[in-house]
Structure 1
């Protein structure tokens, strides 16, 4: 029987220290050489059938990930037996520890709903399905960076050295952003709420849970977003539709039926001398007449 032990100071198998990546030769010396090999496009997998152990290697020589299989699977690389050894984490049974300390579960990647336990720069990720721990995967801990690949200043509101339009009505401003940012491409960066949620560092924005209602940080960003006065002449038409990109980015799962972004005042029309026509579906009842009173052609969608 094999005993895996992860402590603040070391990771050992039967008291022998293990450091990732570990060469296949060094691992053989610890757990034996009775394994099979499967090469895939991106990895070489070594399976110890009698131990319930599967390892993954990118170069076919050094192992980056070691998986203890606790439930039988039917993949080509799945061992014929499940892991029957012991595994202690901080001197406690690792599965008991995992269930006992949910607050210590650490997310390793986007969509990770089960999390890992981390100690001594090694992560033990839990593959949990139908409330059963199917496997535990061990590897070097790599902190999850949800903003990876997104420039740090992507959605930082910059200091503006030119005159900007001061809006009094959020609904009106959203319609202007729709036209100038998404249709004409004159405003940047083009706002993407999914990217913004990954980029935002002050807290984790969970769109799956929060995307049905206005998200405070998203709304504030769009309120603060500067629209230069020099672009005012470019706006000749406003066209509102439930599928407008601005609405889908403001409340991703709204379904398009909201009064949250209704235009309540036409006062901001004074900034746009070339605005000739508006097609509305998000506006208070009186707004159609108010636009027409300004000489702007107006109709309901």
Structure 2
């Protein structure tokens, strides 16, 4: 199985496959995960344990070890960058999008997505490092 180097880039791919395309199953739910531990409210749990603006350990462990086949990765032609992604809600139930918690730090994982042609929202995130138009264009990827 291919290995991702950037956890936050992997989350963008998981968003596409698990929550948008619904081809990476079963869909992870932090509420269900915590409920199995006797915790009824993920938001209250995060606040009460000073975890409000972090990735919960349960979500990190699940997503870090989640294997995604080359066949599924080959189906990814578009990625979306947006503070309201479902995968972010599953990782950090009270995250407000006002910090760099989910910033992608490397585009090394682009090699895992041979058919990626478009990244939506890259311009709204400032096209800073690493989403420079030149880097994406050199790979045949449109950013908007």
Corresponding residue for residue 287 of structure 1: 130
The structure that is strand-richer by fraction is 1
Alignment of 1:1-301 (within 5 A): 164-200=1-37, 206-209=45-48, 210-279=51-120, 280=122, 285-289=128-132, 290-299=135-144
Q: Alpha carbons of 1:282 and 1:258: their partners in 2 closer, same or farther (altered >3 Å)?
A: farther
> After superposition, what is the alpha-carbon deviation per residue over 1:236-277, rounded to whole angstroms, capped at 9, x for unaligned?
000111111001111111112231221111111111111000
Root-mean-square deviation (CA, aligned residues, Å) is: 2.1
Contact 1:264 1:283 in 2 (8 A): no
TM-score normalised by the chain length of structure 1? 0.41
TM-score normalised by the chain length of structure 2? 0.81
Q: Alpha carbons of 1:224 and 1:170: their partners in 2 closer, same or farther (altered >3 Å)?
A: same
Residues of 2 paired with 1:282 and 1:214: CA distance?
Answer: 20
Residues of 1 paired with 2:89 and 2:33: CA distance?
Answer: 13
Q: Alpha carbons of 1:217 and 1:282: their partners in 2 closer, same or farther (altered >3 Å)?
A: farther
Residues of 1 paired with 2:17 and 2:2: CA distance?
Answer: 13
Residues of 2 paired with 1:170 and 1:208: CA distance?
Answer: 23
Residues of 2 paired with 1:212 and 1:263: CA distance?
Answer: 17
Larger radius of gyration: 1
- Displacement after TM superposition at 1:282 (Å): 5.7
Greater RCO (Cα-Cα under 8 Å, separation 6 or more): 2
The structure that is helix-richer by fraction is 2
Q: Alpha carbons of 1:184 and 1:297: their partners in 2 closer, same or farther (altered >3 Å)?
A: same
Q: Alpha carbons of 1:283 and 1:217: their partners in 2 closer, same or farther (altered >3 Å)?
A: farther
Number of aligned residue pairs: 133
